[in-house]
Amino acid sequence: MTGPKKPVDYIRQGRRQRLIRELVHDPYMSKRKSPEPTVCPECGAVIHRGRWVWADRPYGAHEDTCPACRRIEDKVPAAFLELSGNFLAEHRDEIMNLIRNLEAREKAEHPLKRLMAITESEDGLSVTFTDAHLALGAGEAIHDAYEGELDYEYAKEDTMLRVSWTR
């Protein structure tokens, strides 16, 4: 007898992930270490042991906007996911639910991994993210669920990932 099926971790599965070079220079990541405790006044994330986490606001915490909130405020995504094709038009809601569920699962553990915006056009959908790995994970989740063509490349001097899926 088998137990419930464990969800696939599209962000950390590693197989295709090794093909992606890490960003050499992300202008939204702080070059200095923020004092602890520090809280983001926008979203409430807290720096704990050197990383942003979801936690209660500590008494006397410093305030500093987290990289994800700065990206959202500046409207500068770390990655784009471009979706297109006839299949998308027929299964738009299912595909968007898949993306939103993946984002919710990742954001619960990692405050800097967020969906920024969804833009609809004649050609399909464009989804922007605050984290490149989240965009790649969303593209791979869609590809694994619905097949199609998946492609990805860094653009703009290796500071932005563009993932495209079509079927």
Least confident of 2-11, 90-99, 112-121, 157-166: 2-11
Q: What is the pLDDT of residue 2?
A: 53
The residue-averaged pLDDT of 90-118 equals 96
Q: What is the pLDDT of residue 33?
A: 78
pLDDT exceeds cutoff 80 at 15: no
Q: How does pLDDT run across 116-128, given as a tens digit for each residue?
A: 999 999 889 999 9
Q: What are the structural domain ranges in the chain?
A: 38-65, 77-166
Long-range pairs for 69-72: beta carbons < 8 A, 24 or more residues apart: 69/40, 69/42, 69/43, 70/28, 71/28, 71/116, 71/130, 72/114, 72/116, 72/130
State pTM to two decimals: 0.81
